Structure 1
Amino acid sequence: MKHNPFVWIEIPVNDMARAVAFYEKVFEFKIQLVDFGGLKMGWFPNAGDAPGATGTLIQQESYIPSQEGPLVYFYSENLQNELDRVEDAGGKILHPKTQISEDHGYMGVFEDSEGNRVALHSNA
């Protein structure tokens, strides 16, 4: 395989301003707002040639936030840092930091400000 399977990830939102505020507070990075003729997007930072995919918050009537769909994992140096900011940002912890195994690191899951189920992964 020449590249990772995921190229782009879209997280549906109902309220772009609220979602941007939530993700910027939890991850401590800036999101770039873009409007493509009514299709509102909040682009996550792109680290260029670094491993992994980037993505966007997306607001349009055909995108509906849910805990039912695929689970997206964000990379973290130590996911407890982000989990510690989730509730203050308006989200809810669904699964605390838990070791997967010694070889595979840790995971945690939260509900974002829009009702999406989102996960974190870190080696520490």
Structure 2
Amino acid sequence: MSAHEKINYVEFPASDLDKVKTFFIKAFSWKFTDYGSQYTAFTYSGVDGGFYKADIKSQTKQGAALVVLFSENLQHSIDKVEQAGGKITQPIFNFPGGKRFQFLDPCGNEWGVWSV
């Protein structure tokens, strides 16, 4: 399949780049490359992307899209999120097609994790 006109990269705000990098490394083993003091790119996440330095947050209540990660074991993922400093905002719940939970990263961005 061609990459033409497919989602290729996503970007998120983060008030503290070091804190958000540490969280995603501990919770999900993402890799980071810094581009100056205002931007860091991530890989090993499914879709590459980055965080830019900003005092805003990406949350659905403000109209942001919800990025949802896949997990083979939701409870294990919840444990890793909490141990890395994330805040669970919606514990595991059923939805058509599976189960998921939602959390905030240390900079307040909202994420989901789902499983079958």
| TM range, smaller chain | 0.7 to 0.9
Match of 1:54, as an amino acid? V
Aligned to 1:108: 101
1: distance between equivalents of 2:109 and 2:79? 18
1: distance between equivalents of 2:100 and 2:33? 29
Give the C-alpha shift of residue 38 in structure 1. 5.2
1:88 maps to which of 71, 83, 95: 83
Question: Structure 1 length normalisation: TM-score?
Answer: 0.74
1:57 is aligned to 2:50: yes
Give the C-alpha shift of residue 90 in structure 1. 1.6
> Contact 1:79–1:122 (CA<8 Å) still a contact in 2?
yes
Counterparts in 2 of 1:106 and 1:2: CA distance versus 1, 3 Å: farther
For structure 1, the residue ranges without an aligned partner over 5 or more in a row are: 47-52
Aligned to 1:26: 27
Aligned to 1:16: 17
For structure 2, the residue ranges without an aligned partner over 5 or more in a row are: none
SS at match of 2:83: coil
**Hey, which of these two has a bigger chunk of helix by percent?**
2
Aligned length: 112
Aligned to 1:40: 39
Aligned to 1:74: 69
Q: Percent identity?
A: 29
Question: Structure 2 length normalisation: TM-score?
Answer: 0.78
